[in-house]
Structure 1
Amino acid sequence: MYTAKGRLDANAMLKQYSPLVRRLAHQMIAKLPANVEIDDLIQVGMIGLSDALTRFDAGQGVQFETFATQRIRGAMLDELRGSDWMSRGDRRHQRSIESAVHKLEQKLGRAPNESEIAKEMGLTLADYQELLGKVRGTQLVYLEDMSGDDGDDDYLDRHIAADETANPLSLLNDHRMREALVEAIKNLPEREQYVMSMYYEHDMNLKEIAAVLGVTESRVCQLHSQSIARLRSKLREW
């Protein structure tokens, strides 16, 4: 789209490619903690799109959408790197919960209950549940590099920056991961299975899930975080 003077019509282009920004934002946020706001990613993505319009040179032989996608994703990644999207303390707490769950599963041969996990961590049940609330932003998988690396940039570059759809091996690995994940979910305690199903399969929010289960929203948050710890423990050796 060009103006009468032969220049890109910025307003028309922004409108045309704004769905691309939203699509990229939704793809990216699926791998990030829930405390990252989709609107924030879209906002910086639009800035990246605007920057792409300014810098695009058709003479380079690159399609605009390809060029814009790189600039949009780059703007989003820069925003994530520049913000405390998941504190080191939260990652440390998450790994501690996972380690306790893993150790107890090996010892007991079953899924440990909350009291057992709290005792293993040297916490009271109340303190353990409070900790679960603090790590509420964790995701099903790809929360961070499975190697345990603390580097935010390393995580982003490994799991977000790359165009996974262009790599057949990544797609195959993703399929295998999904199969392992489905099997792991089947082994969760019944109530936690309900939470994961409502949250991820039926796109229900915490408030809606709380109403169905007859518990508080904070309790659903705790169950969700604990489910994540159990799943990541199961998938640790995948």
Structure 2
Amino acid sequence: MSVASEYLQLQRQSADELVRQHAPLVRRIAYHLMGRLPPSVDVSDLIQAGMIGLLEAARNFTTGKNASFETFAGIRIRGAMLDELRRTDWTPRSVHRKVREMAEVVRQIEIETGADADDAEVMRRLGMGAEEYHQVLADAASARLLSLSAPDDADGGAAFDVVDGDSLSPADSVEHEGMREALVEAIGSLPEREQLVMSLYYEEELNLKEIGAVLGVTESRVCQIHGQAIVRLRARMSGWHEGQAERSAKQRKGTKGM
């Protein structure tokens, strides 16, 4: 056996051992994510995607890095699971449509009043009863509807998608940074309880039951508050997208005139 072949064989053995040792990490991450996802998601699909992420991590990890293999693998495993969730969007189109309609009504009310849209007024304008209204909020919270970088007619997307900055052109990088700043500002303008739920869910990574324990309310109520925050953010970010579209159009027009 040549030196090169021997080296490759040792690499494969080392990768296989890392996969065996850290397989429980995949299940742990999968079940942690499941606490924040609707029941329609199959945990076995997440585990399968996570195992692929673990295998890729084992093949690409090199010693001497600052991060441990478990940290490195955890990032790859989680990323593979999120990619799987993005690839298989379980949300019916009707849900996306209703949330878009609700966000537009919220936006209209807030433009007219200069204040946070009131639930009762949103229901009145949509012609919805309380039960249907709360169901749409629950759907908004459990589905990946907050694709704030997507146009209004898009059917979905991942919540708070993280874009690889290295893959962006200079113009795209400026736009992405502008969107992130607008999103941070929009979150900061939410009612206090909605801000807290968003922080506990996305930053602290608590599930709805854990957030309910913190706030002293039921899990279903947390789901509604989360949905209200998502709808409100979608409404407020739509103005930023319209302004961005206008700026892009002016830039294209100016380029043609040169």
- Aligning the two structures, in what range does the TM-score lie when normalised by the shorter sequence? 0.5 to 0.7
In 2 relative to 1, CA 236–15 (structure 1 residues): closer, same or farther, beyond 3 Å? Answer: farther
Indicate the residue corresponding to 2:117 in structure 1: 112
Contact preservation (8 Å) 2:152, 2:238: no
Match of 2:202 in 1: 200
- C-alpha distance in 2 between matches for 1:146 and 1:225: 20
- The answer (yes or no) to whether the contact 1:138–1:225 under 8 Å persists in 2 is no
Give, in whole Å, the separation in 1 of the partners of 2:199 and 2:119. Answer: 20
Q: Are the equivalent residues in 2 in contact too, given 1:199–1:209 (CA < 8 A)?
A: yes
Q: Distance in 2 between matches of 1:180 and 1:107?
A: 21
In the alignment, the residues of structure 2 paired with residue 104 and residue 8 of structure 1 have an alpha-carbon distance, to the nearest angstrom, of: 65
Distance in structure 1 (CA, Å) of the matches to 2:44 and 2:188? 33
TM-score by length of 2: 0.61
1:222 maps to which residue?
224
Change (3 A) 1:46 1:234: same
1:149 aligns with 2:154: yes
Deviations along 1:44-88, one digit per CA (max 9) or x if unpaired, are 35348879x9xxxxxxxxxxxxxxxxxxx899867854x443221
Give the alignment of 1:1-238 within 5 angstroms. Answer: 4=6, 10=12, 12-14=14-16, 16=18, 34-35=37-38, 40-44=45-49, 46-47=51-52, 81=87, 83-138=88-143, 141-142=146-147, 145-150=150-155, 163-167=164-168, 169=170, 170-238=172-240
Aligned residue for 2:141, secondary structure, equals coil
SS in 1 for 2:239: coil
- One-letter code aligned to 2:227: S
Match of 1:70 in 2: none
Contact 2:140 2:227 in 1 (8 A): yes
- Cα deviation, 1:184-226, whole Å, max 9, x if unaligned, reads 1222122212212222232222112212222110010011011
Unpaired runs of 5+ residues, structure 1, are 54-72
Distance change >3 Å, CA 213–CA 79, structure 1 → 2: closer
Secondary structure at the aligned position of 1:195 is classed as helix
Aligned length: 208
Given the superposition, is the C-alpha separation of residues 144 and 186 from structure 1 closer, same or farther in structure 2, using an over 3 Å criterion? closer
Share of identical aligned residues, percent? Answer: 36
Q: Which runs of 5+ in 2 are unaligned?
A: 59-78, 241-258
Q: In structure 2, the residue corresponding to 1:236 is in which secondary structure?
A: helix
**Residue identity matched to 1:130:** Q
CA 1:225–1:78: 2 relative to 1, 3 Å? closer
Deviation at residue 100 of structure 1 after TM alignment: 1.4
Q: 1:196 to 1:47 in 2, by over 3 A?
A: closer
Partners of 2:105 and 2:122 within 8 A in 1? yes
Q: Name the CA distance, whole Å, in 1 between partners of 2:84 and 2:204.
A: 32
Q: Which entry has the higher C-alpha Rg, 1 or 2? A: 2
Contact persistence 1:164–1:171 (CA under 8 A)? yes
* 1:136-185 CA distance string (max 9 Å, x none): 224584267224133x7xx58xx68x854322544443332222122112
| CA 16–191 in structure 1, closer or farther in 2 if over 3 Å, else same | same
Secondary structure (helix, strand or coil) at the match of 1:237 reads: helix
What is the distance in 2 between the residues matched to 1:165 and 1:221? Answer: 35
Match of residue 68 from structure 2: none
Distance 2:130 2:81 in 1: 42
